[in-house]
């Protein structure tokens, strides 16, 4: 008899439990410790998380999906056409409440430990692709237009650098995203040609 697959919510809970172990033990947490934290058999653990690092995929994906959703909401609201403002407020909405398990030690782990950093970088690529549609909407251009792709890349870069600042300096999502947005605004490539 076939088993029902685990729900996304169940996988997210397992991922949060694994993140708690990694927060406590660090990168050297054993597979056995992660399996125990997930609360399933080793066979079930590896069915859903084929590689050890994959146990963090649901929690990372949850963050990026909340971020993309917040960008879509902000783009659809039509209150602003300032992409940096849209993306900055979306990042704060997605990561500013602290219930996602992304505490200081977890952020340090995913941004520096090679096994988890690779997964994080792959998810950043997925984030960028998911942002094509909302960037297309706010810019009024087709999704495959170069301006849309560059905007999606810049939005992802804001999120990536904000998470790095949170990891390095214990900043809040608001502090980190605001600093990154301000830095991007100061950058010559981000200013209109007349002001360069």
Q: What is the pLDDT of residues 27-36, one digit of tens each?
A: 899 999 999 9
CA distances 1 to 4, 10, 39, 106, 193, Å, are 10, 21, 22, 38, 65
Is 74 found in the same domain as 163?
A: yes
Q: What is the pLDDT of residue 193?
A: 44
* 34, 71 contact by CB (below 8 A): no
- Interacting residues of 167 by C-beta distance below 8 A, sequence separation 6+: 104, 107, 108, 110, 111, 112
Helix or strand (DSSP H, E) at 4: none
Surface-to-core class of residue 113, CB atoms within 10 Å of its CB (0-12 exposed, 13-18 middle, 19+ buried)? middle
Question: Do 54 and 116 touch, CB atoms closer than 8 A?
Answer: no
Among candidate residues 76, 70, 22, 80, the one with its CA nearest the CA of residue 49: 22
- Structure confidence by residue, pLDDT tens digits, 70-118: 999 988 776 677 889 999 999 999 998 765 556 788 899 999 999 999 9
CATH number of the domain encompassing residue 102 = 1.10.357.10
Average pLDDT, integer, range 146-153 = 95
Distance from C-alpha of 94 to C-alpha of 88, rounded to nearest angstrom: 10
Model confidence pLDDT, tens digit, residues 49-72: 999 999 999 999 999 999 999 999
Both structure tokens of 89: 């407020």
CATH number of the domain encompassing residue 14: 1.10.10
Let me know whether 159 and 104 are in one domain.
yes
Alpha carbons 155 and 3: distance in angstroms, whole number: 40
Q: Are residues 136 and 156 both part of a single domain?
A: yes
pTM for this model (two decimals): 0.88
Q: How many domains does the chain have?
A: 2
């Amino acid at each position: 008899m076939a088993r029902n697959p685990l729900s996304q919510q169940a996988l997210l809970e397992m991922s949060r439990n694994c993140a708690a172990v990694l927060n406590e033990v660090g990168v050297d947490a054993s597979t056995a410790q992660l399996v125990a934290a997930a609360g399933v058999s080793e066979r079930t653990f590896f069915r859903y998380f084929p590689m050890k690092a994959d146990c963090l995929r649901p929690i990372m994906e949850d963050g990026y999906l909340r971020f993309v959703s917040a960008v879509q909401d902000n783009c659809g609201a039509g209150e602003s056409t300032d992409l940096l403002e849209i993306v900055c407020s979306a990042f704060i909405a997605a990561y500013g409440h602290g219930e996602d398990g992304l505490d200081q030690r977890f952020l340090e782990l995913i941004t520096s430990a090679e096994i988890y950093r690779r997964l994080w970088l792959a998810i950043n690529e997925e984030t960028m692709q998911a942002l094509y549609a909302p960037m297309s909407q706010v810019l009024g251009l087709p999704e495959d237009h170069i301006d849309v792709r560059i905007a999606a890349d810049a939005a992802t870069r804001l999120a990536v650098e904000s998470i790095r600042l949170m990891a390095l300096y214990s900043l809040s999502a608001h502090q980190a995203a605001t600093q990154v947005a301000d830095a991007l605004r100061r950058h010559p490539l981000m200013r209109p040609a007349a002001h360069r």
